[in-house]
């Protein structure tokens, strides 16, 4: 009788062990499934991340990506800090710094670098910067981040000199020297190609230039290159400050720089999104 109870008790223990192991296995399986990462973006960056989300490279990396479009940069950053978006892909380092400065209670953290999209100086009238005469009117962007970037490029081209403390929120009031007495007309920076026949010189961002049928590397009379003077214009992936050490989010940076993904980007955008695969310390 005693042996019989031992057998029954042993069978119960064995069954309970199998049940517990099965439960643990299910939990392990559930935890191993990658959480969906929502990437917020806009414009050409949106197209890139839609491609990446569907790619075999994302699947191989174990990343389940959903892409959400938010066309206003400030709202996109706000959505990121509030958790409606996990990671965003649209802004330059200087835009990121300016946003954090203006929003100390809702800061972002940079995850890694992606590319530099060169800003160009365009003209239908002049073939090179040195041809630009005194008193020329130059059209520049009317939004803070791009206004400062435009002026920095004009300084790099040797047309003006800026104050020592010039930063991402500076503007034409911070021009120290203007030897050619250039005049500045602020325009909606999405209209650059359309005003090219109305203004002698226009500064146009690459995304807008491409939409207008212009290629910054061949059609501009002067453009940015990847060097220390343009590091603030390198684009980044950003997340809410509390997520700065999230390993899954950091995988997105590595995925962006995958050789196959880069081949797609170079072909689609004619080599105008210049890859910048640098540590964040490069930008600081």
3-state secondary structure the chain: CHHHHHHHHHHHHHHHHHHHHHHHHHHHHHHHCCCEEEEEECHHHHHHHHHHHHCHHHHHCCCEEEEEECCCHHHHHHHHHCCCCCEEEEEEHHHHHHHHHHCCCCCEEEEEECEECCCEEECCCCCCHHHCCCCCEEEEECCHHHHHHHHHHHHHCCCCEECCCCCCCCCHHHEEECCCCCEEEEECHHHHHHHCCCCCEEEECHHHHHHCCCCHHHHCCEECCCCHHHHHHCEEEEEEHHHCCCHHHHHHHHHHCCHHHHHHHHHHCCCCCEECCCCHHHHC
Same domain, 172 and 97: no
pLDDT of residue 47: 96
- Asked if the model's pLDDT at residue 17 lies above 60, the reply is no
Task: Return the CATH number at 110.
Answer: 3.40.190.10
Same domain, 64 and 110: yes
State which of 224, 253, 272 marks the end of a domain: 224
Higher pLDDT, 74 or 8: 74
Residue 210 lies in a domain: yes
- Proportion of the chain above pLDDT 70, given as a percent: 88
pTM of this prediction?
Answer: 0.80
- Asked if the model's pLDDT at residue 250 lies above 60, the reply is yes
Number of structural domains, the chain?
A: 2
- Give tens-digit pLDDT for 173-215: 999 999 999 999 999 988 999 999 999 999 999 989 988 999 9
Residue 72 lies in a domain: yes
* Average pLDDT of span 276-283: 96
Structural domain containing residue 146: 120-224
Residue 22 lies in a domain: no
Same domain, 174 and 95: no
Phi/psi-derived region of residue 10, left when phi > 0, alpha when psi is between -120 and 50, beta in every other case:
alpha
pLDDT of residue 28: 36
In the numeric block, which tokens belong to residue 68? 């959400």
pLDDT category of residue 34 using cuts at 50, 70 and 90: low
Label the pairing between strands 137-141 and 201-204: parallel
**Could you tell me the strand order of the sheet in which 64-69 lies?**
64-69, 36-41, 87-92, 235-240, 108-113
- Give tens-digit pLDDT for 122-148: 999 999 999 999 999 999 999 877 899
- Give tens-digit pLDDT for 161-173: 999 989 877 899 9
């Amino acid at each position: 009788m005693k042996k019989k109870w031992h057998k029954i008790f042993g069978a119960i223990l064995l069954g309970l062990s199998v049940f517990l192991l099965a439960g643990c296995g299910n939990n392990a399986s559930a935890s191993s499934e990658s959480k969906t990462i929502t990437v917020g973006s806009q414009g050409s960056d949106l197209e890139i991340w839609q491609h990446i989300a569907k790619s075999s490279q994302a699947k191989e990396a174990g990343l389940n990506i959903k892409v959400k479009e938010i066309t206003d940069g400030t709202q996109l950053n706000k959505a990121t800090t509030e958790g409606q978006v996990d990671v965003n892909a649209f802004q330059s380092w200087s835009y990121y710094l300016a946003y954090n400065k203006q929003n100390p209670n809702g800061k972002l953290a940079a995850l890694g670098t992606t590319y530099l999209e060169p800003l160009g100086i365009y003209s239908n009238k002049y073939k090179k910067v040195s041809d630009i005469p005194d008193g020329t009117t130059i059209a520049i962007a009317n939004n803070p981040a791009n206004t400062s970037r435009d002026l920095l490029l004009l300084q790099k081209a040797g047309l003006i000199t800026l104050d020592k403390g010039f930063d991402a929120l500076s503007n034409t009031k911070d021009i120290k020297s203007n030897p050619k007495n250039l005049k500045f007309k602020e325009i909606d920076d999405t209209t650059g190609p359309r005003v090219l026949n109305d203004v002698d010189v226009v500064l146009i961002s690459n995304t807008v230039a491409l939409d207008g049928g212009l290629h910054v590397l061949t059609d501009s009379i002067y453009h940015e290159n990847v060097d220390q003077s343009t590091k603030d214009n390198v684009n980044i992936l950003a997340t809410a400050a509390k997520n700065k050490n999230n390993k899954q989010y950091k995988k997105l940076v590595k995925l962006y720089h995958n050789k196959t993904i880069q081949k797609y980007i170079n072909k689609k955008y004619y080599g105008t999104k210049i890859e910048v695969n640098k540590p964040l310390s490069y930008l600081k």
